Structure 1
Amino acid sequence: MGWSNWMQRQRGRARRVYADLVRRRSRVRVVIASEPTLASIPIFIVGLFRSGTTLVRYILGSHSNIACPGETTFLADMDRMLNDERSLAGFDAMGFDRSDVLSRARQFVAYFYENYARSRDKARWADKSPTYVDHLDFLAELFPDARFVLVVRNPLDQIHSHTQGGRLRPERLDRYGTTAEDPRILGARYWNEKTLLLLDFANRNPSRCQMIGYEELCEEPEAVSRRLFDFLGEPWQPQVLRFWEFDHDQGLEDSRIRTTRSISVSTGGYLEWPRGMIRACRDIVRDTATSVGYDSGVPEVPGSEP
């Protein structure tokens, strides 16, 4: 049994190496760029890192009408510019107020997304960038008719994946604590803060947002995906659940998605943690987890600390 599992892991690694080295290229078909029409309703897939946003991206990108590139990130810088007093003062000195700048920015952004969609023979575009969790209000202002797919995941599973069980400390977690603290504690604070941002935005924009749970999507992919496409105003197409049959331009996401041939949930890795660590992280996220439906997914841990 051990040998079989080892061989299975090696085959998985080999497939990922092939995807990384041989297929690491854009498959975007070159087209003659045209001016944006702003005719389609944009879609933004937003969630925390390691929460399932890439799976949602691949599902949406397998629809015949939706093109979704890898992470873009550049809209974060545009948000900062359009909310920087010195920048706005410079525009104002030339006779342009913020609404003028925002209108031009909308055209600028749509130019790239719309031409990308055309390169994929699609009529509508989507974006999947976890960093945009900090820029939701800007995106809603930039594209007033945009739809938002907000992805959440069991906090302890997300923390486990994000920090590789405490062995990894992503740079983005530095602001959540000190170097002496366990990365999982920092990860819990990150999950709590960013999930509150998602929840607040969804509560203020209920008609524009669809919040989906990673676990429910994996356990009931057709039911959840049908609701999602209905929310987006797109007809149901069963092939979206066979996303591995389609080409997807590669981004910054976990490379394992490129060799995935099924939809299955990854959960429970945090059960290997010391009980005290589970308790500490649970205490940080408990209230917010309950607010997004994970009250039963953040368990009490009996017994004493190991």
Structure 2
Amino acid sequence: MAPASEAGPGGASGRPLFVIGCPRSGTTLLQLMLHSHHRIAIPAETRFVVPAYLARCEFGDLTDRDNRRALAEWITGRKATKFHDLGLDAAEVADAITAGPPTVGSAVGLVFRAYARRFDRPRWGDKRPSYSKHVGTLLRMFPDAQFVHLVRDGRDCVASLLEMPWYKQDIYHAVSAWRESIDIGHRLAARLGPETYYELQYERLVADPADELIRLCAFLGEDFDPAMLEPQDIAERTVPKQKKWHDRTRSAVSRSRIGSWAQRLEPWEIGLAEAAFGDRLGEYGYEPSDIAARPGARQLARLAKVAAHRRAALRKAELKDRWQRRYEPNPVHSLLEPDPYPASP
């Protein structure tokens, strides 16, 4: 990897960046820290990247301008895509996609390029915890992408998930989500290598933000920006007000939530989580609890059933994508050249 001072638009610092991790692991905080960097723009969750890829065959041959227009209007016009949260002119972005290269990766990239230009930044990224299950898809669209995986104590993630108004699953799904995230991370580290995949822990990030962010910036090929230490400043401008569960991002970085699972989870819930996580907790230095209750056979059976169902759903999605690849009318990778748009000094 080139040193941060040598990285330029054509090197590591020109690569798309994706933040992944188990839900409620602190990915929004990390996104805001990165978005505070004077060269990087990462919006709140957009929800059009993977859906656009999955719907790619519906738009036909993208060498046809009318089909590119249909794709552009699908991305910019549907509320489900969260495009309206980006603060962009939908007509201008749709025109850029229509005039752009004929691949879905190019269309998606043009949206993020427009967002980066809104903040006068040359580099863009995106954050969504579920991207950990779609890294292959993201690499198909952006072969030079980099991935940052944020890991947090699984018991804190489970406790937080169960408190979210939008989370409709039970503890068995929450426990499975963290375990899946860790196992996926292990596979990605081996497959992608240290130039493409980077892992850091939430607890270390909030305990010593400067040290962790300096290391992260080195991976990204960027110079460290002290503004990253004050993510609450940009949170006021970019975090949607309706997302009350992100209210803490508008305050200074704090260690106060570390280990709060001990007060938020019942002993049986702690025991179930620790039994499911096994050695994974210890790998990251998370100590076992002395108040955990041994899970019963019925609870373990329920967990096994949920985990099997989730694996089957993921396998079904992979098989569907493999079938779609046989019929996709165009390549999917982005054909955009590095953006020459300058960043403010």
* TM-score, with length taken from structure 1: 0.70
SS in 1 for 2:230: helix
Match of 2:304 in 1: none
Question: Is structure 2 residue 191 aligned with structure 1 residue 204?
Answer: yes
Distance in 1, matches of 2:102 and 2:288, equals 44
> Which ranges in structure 2 are unaligned for 5 or more consecutive residues?
1-9, 65-100, 296-345
User: Which of 267, 289, 298 is residue 299 of structure 1 equivalent to?
Assistant: 289
Deviation at 1:71, TM superposition (A): 0.2
Where do residues 2-81 of structure 1 align in structure 2 (5 Å cutoff)?
A: 40-81=14-55
Residue 189, structure 1, aligned to residue 179, structure 2: no
Helix, strand or coil at the partner of 1:299: coil
Secondary structure at the aligned position of 2:274 is classed as helix
Distance 1:304 1:162, change over 3 A: closer
Cα distance, 1:91 vs structure 2:
5.5
Superposed counterparts of 1:104-115, under 5 Å? 104-115=103-114
Identity %: 25
CA distance change for structure 1 residues 248 and 233 in 2, over 3 Å: closer, same or farther? farther
Query: Which string of whole-angstrom CA distances, capped at 9 and with x for unpartnered residues, describes residues 258-284 of structure 1?
Result: 421233341222213332321111101
Q: Which moved further from structure 2: 45-54 or 127-136?
A: 127-136
Label 1:288 to 1:73 Cα distance change in 2 as closer, same or farther (>3 A).
farther
How much has 1:143 moved relative to structure 2?
A: 0.9
Assess, with a 3 A threshold, how the Cα gap between structure 1 residues 103 and 284 changes in structure 2: closer, same or farther.
farther
RCO higher in 1 or 2 (8 Å CA, sep ≥ 6)? 2
Counterparts in 2 of 1:221-260, with a 5 A limit?
221-246=209-234, 248-251=237-240, 254-260=245-251
Paired amino acid for 1:131: S
Q: Return the alpha-carbon distance in structure 1 between the equivalents of residues 255 and 191 of structure 2.
A: 32
Partners of 2:53 and 2:104 within 8 A in 1: no
Q: 1:237 to 1:131 in 2, by over 3 A?
A: same
Cα distance in structure 2, aligned partners of 1:157 and 1:135: 24
* 1:227 shift after superposition: 0.3
Contact 1:44 1:127 survives alignment (8 Å): yes
1:144-223, aligned counterparts within 5 Å? 144-164=143-163, 170-171=167-168, 173=169, 183-206=170-193, 207-223=195-211
8 Å contact kept, 2:19–2:150 = yes
1:114-136 CA distance string (max 9 Å, x none)? 01100111111111112212211
Give 3-state SS (helix, strand or coil) of 1:254's partner: helix
Aligned counterpart, 1:278: 270
Q: How much does 1:72 deviate?
A: 1.0
Change (3 A) 1:107 1:262: same
Q: Kindly tell me: are residues 241 and 43 of structure 1, through their superposed partners in 2, closer, same or farther at Cα, counting changes over 3 Å?
A: same
Determine the C-alpha separation between the residues in 1 that align with 2:142 and 2:239: 25
Query: How far did 1:74 drift?
Result: 1.2
CA RMSD of superposed structures (Å): 3.0
More moved, 188-197 vs 226-235: 188-197
**2:150 is paired with a residue of what secondary structure?**
strand
Indicate the SS of the match to 2:44.
Answer: coil
Q: What is the alpha-carbon distance in structure 1 between the residues aligned to residue 281 and residue 25 of structure 2?
A: 14
Q: Specify whether residues 61 and 159 from structure 1 end up closer, same or farther in structure 2 by C-alpha distance, changes over 3 A only.
A: same
Q: CA deviation at 1:288?
A: 3.2
Deviation at 1:242, TM superposition (A): 1.4
Say whether the 8 Å CA contact 1:219–1:265 is kept in structure 2. no
SS at match of 1:50: coil
Q: Distance in 1 between matches of 2:18 and 2:134?
A: 11
AA of the residue aligned to 1:69: P
User: Residue 138 of structure 2 aligns with which residue?
Assistant: 139
2:205/2:212 contact within 8 Å kept: yes
Unaligned runs of 5+ in 1: 1-36, 95-101, 174-182
User: In the TM superposition, what is the alpha-carbon distance from 1:240 to its structure 2 partner?
Assistant: 1.1
Kept in 2: contact 1:46–1:148 (CA 8 A): yes
